[in-house]
Structure 1
Amino acid sequence: MKDFRLYAITGEEFHPGRDLIEVMEEAIYGGVDIIQLRDKSGDKPAILEKARALRELTRKHGVTFIVNDYIDIAMEVDADGIHLGQGDVPLVEARKLVGDKIIGISTHAIEEALLAEAQGADYIGVGPVFPTKTKVDVVDPVTVDYVREVAGKVKIPFVAIGGIKLRNVDEVIAAGATRICAISEIVGSSDISGTCRSFLDKLDKWGES
């Protein structure tokens, strides 16, 4: 997989009245280099339609496209990969279904992170770092201590996620994160591209220090 720095996940509840594709394209213009479609409430035909549109958009801009949970939809639209939670299809089984496509795994403890690495995950999500309202079944925050632990022990790429805002991202980067994921802070912004550039500026600043 191509390396990445800023990962955006769809969250239509944070931009009511604004078109999904327009919102995500603004994020791409701001520097997002990987997009995940996550829709926990829509019906399958609607999610498939969104996936097709996002696949077209990301292919147009050369951005990596990931589908959350729905392996069948990811394969149907030729997404670049899938993202799975701890309660989803086991990674080993998913690999048999998707072949060499990207597989990302959400992790909340170092044991999960090391297992995902050993089983061949291409990257892991590390979080939620801070309290977040983007998921109804969210686990307790793992804090930056977990970010620091993963940075010291895991060799595959990891992305910090969960409650990350411009006001607290410096703490996450200082703990060792070089890849950031945000949802509401990006898609709910009145200046999506500007918010994305601000995240990247902070990553650049820490990278130079």
Structure 2
Amino acid sequence: MRDFRLYAITGENFHPGRGLVEVMEQAILGGADILQYRDKTGGREDRLRKAKELRELTRKYGIPFIVNDDIELALEVDADGIHLGQGDLPLEEARRMVGNKIIGISTHAIEEALLAQEQGADYIGAGPVYATQTKTDAVAPVGLDYIREVSKRIDIPFVAIGGIKLGNVDEVIEAGASRVCAISEIVGSEDPAGACRAFIDRLERKGRA
């Protein structure tokens, strides 16, 4: 898969009164270079409509579009990939269904990360680094030590996720992350594009160090 730096995930509860496509387009304009649609509560038709709109948006800007958890929806809108949690469909079965599309796996321990790599994941999410209000079923924070361990032992791309803000992203990068994901800090911002530019600046600054 094409490499990326800033992974944006939808979170409509963080921007009431503003449209989903409007907010996510601002994130892309600010530098988000991969986008995931995550919606655990919407009805089927509503989710299909939004996924189609985001698929069109990501094609317009030429960035990968990932659907969280729902392989059927991902295939229906021809998403670039699927993201799975530890309790979702096994990776091998997902691979049979999606072929060579991108598969990302959430991991919370090095054993999970190593297994995902061995089974052919294209990337992993490493976290939650900090406590997060985005997911009601989030596991306990894994902290920066997990990021350090993943950076040393995992060869496929990994993205640090979970409670990452502009106020703490520097220490996440210092721990070894070259790709980060933020949700509320981006989509909940009055200026999603500006928030993304600030994240990209931090990542680039570290790359130049």
Q: How does 1:50-89 map to 2 (within 5 A)?
A: 50-89=50-89
1:146 aligns with 2:146: yes
Q: How does 1:93-104 map to 2 (within 5 A)?
A: 93-104=93-104
CA drift at 1:154: 0.2
Distance in 1 (CA, whole Å) between partners of 2:118 and 2:56 is: 33
Distance in 1 (CA, whole Å) between partners of 2:191 and 2:47 is: 26
2:9 maps to 9
1:169 maps to 169
Q: How does 1:95-114 map to 2 (within 5 A)?
A: 95-114=95-114
1:22 maps to 22
Whichever residue aligns with residue 107 of structure 1, its letter is: T
1:127 maps to 127
1:118 maps to 118
Whichever residue aligns with residue 86 of structure 1, its letter is: Q
Whichever residue aligns with residue 70 of structure 2, its letter is: Y
CA drift at 1:198: 0.4
Q: Could you say what the CA RMSD is over the residues aligned between the two structures, in angstroms?
A: 0.4
Specify the SS of the correspondent of 1:50. helix
Distance in 1 (CA, whole Å) between partners of 2:55 and 2:67 is: 10
CA drift at 1:43: 1.2
Distance in 2 (CA, whole Å) between partners of 1:158 and 1:46 is: 31
Distance in 2 (CA, whole Å) between partners of 1:4 and 1:204 is: 12
Distance in 2 (CA, whole Å) between partners of 1:37 and 1:44 is: 14
Distance in 1 (CA, whole Å) between partners of 2:31 and 2:200 is: 8
Specify the SS of the correspondent of 1:39. coil
Question: 1:123-168: CA deviations, max 9, x gaps?
Answer: 0000000000000101000001000000000000000000000000
Distance in 1 (CA, whole Å) between partners of 2:147 and 2:156 is: 13
152-161 vs 42-51, which moves further: 42-51
Q: Which runs of 5+ in 2 are unaligned?
A: none
TM-score (norm 1): 0.99
Q: Which runs of 5+ in 1 are unaligned?
A: none
1:207 aligns with 2:191: no
Whichever residue aligns with residue 45 of structure 1, its letter is: E
Whichever residue aligns with residue 13 of structure 1, its letter is: N
2:40 maps to 40
Q: How many residue pairs end up in the alignment?
A: 209
Question: 1:176-200: CA deviations, max 9, x gaps?
Answer: 0000000000000011111100000
Specify the SS of the correspondent of 2:67. strand
Specify the SS of the correspondent of 1:67. strand
After TM superposition, the runs of 4+ consecutive aligned structure 1 residues lying more than 3 A away are: none
CA drift at 1:172: 0.2
Specify the SS of the correspondent of 1:47. helix
Question: 1:97-143: CA deviations, max 9, x gaps?
Answer: 00000000000000000000000000000000000000010100000
Specify the SS of the correspondent of 2:54. helix
Whichever residue aligns with residue 164 of structure 2, its letter is: I
